[in-house]
Amino acid sequence: MITFKTGDGQEGRGFEVKATSQTGITILMFHEWWGLNDYIKREADRLHDALGGKATVIALDLYDGKVATTREAASKFMSEASEERIRSIISGSLEHIGKQSKIGTIGWCFGGGWSLQAALMAGDQASACVMYYGMPETDAEKLSALSAPLLGIFAAKDGWITPAVVDKFQAAMKKAGKDLTVKSYDADHAFANPSNPQYDKESTEDAYAHVLSFFNAKLFK
């Protein structure tokens, strides 16, 4: 675990897995509505290893230490999360990383939306953004600031991030002239989390292969 200063006078926290060499590449990871739990920490380790240790991975704690173990608690934490505080955490992490780093982002559900927002906040440093079934930004004017190509992974049976939401996102990205690749699976929301009753192993493995290919192409070229 690491800490860093945030602009609101507090500290931010994250789980960091350092690159094996000084590549200057960092991937910011954003947790689901559960918080920064052991599963997300394992995902940070797994992504680091799958990319050959070439990138530092930092899984940010957007809940300041709170971790949910029930859906009720997760819903409460997500609804109570302050956008201002989360943006301060992300800004603090970007300051911690430094202006010379190339940045990738990835997140799921609640964190999928924040993966896109973090890529917007990172400006020209952002080189790759992955969002799994997160609420996308659909304002083309705001998306015009996006520097990173984006891989969006969605679920056709999702009752929250519905195909209609994805269509609206695609239209906004096209209007903004941005690079978007969409992979849609015949699965339900949060299909990539093994603890979810709707977990879809085949779709999860296929999506992860696309993630690794995308990061390798965009971050290490």
10-residue mean pLDDT series, the chain (221 residues):
95 97 94 98 98 97 97 96 97 96 97 98 97 96 97 97 97 97 97 95 98 97 78
Here the CATH number for the domain that contains residue 164 is 3.40.50.1820
The predicted pLDDT at position 92 comes to 97
Provide the domain limits for residue 79: 2-219
The predicted pLDDT at position 23 comes to 87
What is the arrangement of strands in the sheet containing 2-5, beginning at the earlier edge strand? 2-5, 11-17, 56-60, 25-30, 102-108, 126-132, 150-155, 180-185
Taking CA atoms, 142 is separated from 138, 139, 146, 185, in Å, by: 8, 5, 8, 27
Secondary-structure percent of the chain, ordered helix, strand, coil, rounded to 5: 40, 20, 35
Residue with tokens 């799958």: 50
The predicted pLDDT at position 99 comes to 92
The predicted pLDDT at position 214 comes to 98
User: Quick one: which H or E segment has residue 83?
Assistant: helix 83-97
Q: Give the predicted TM-score (pTM) of the model.
A: 0.97
Name residue 29's beta-bridge partners. 59, 106
Domain tally for the chain? 1
The predicted pLDDT at position 22 comes to 85
8 Å CB contact between 8 and 87: no
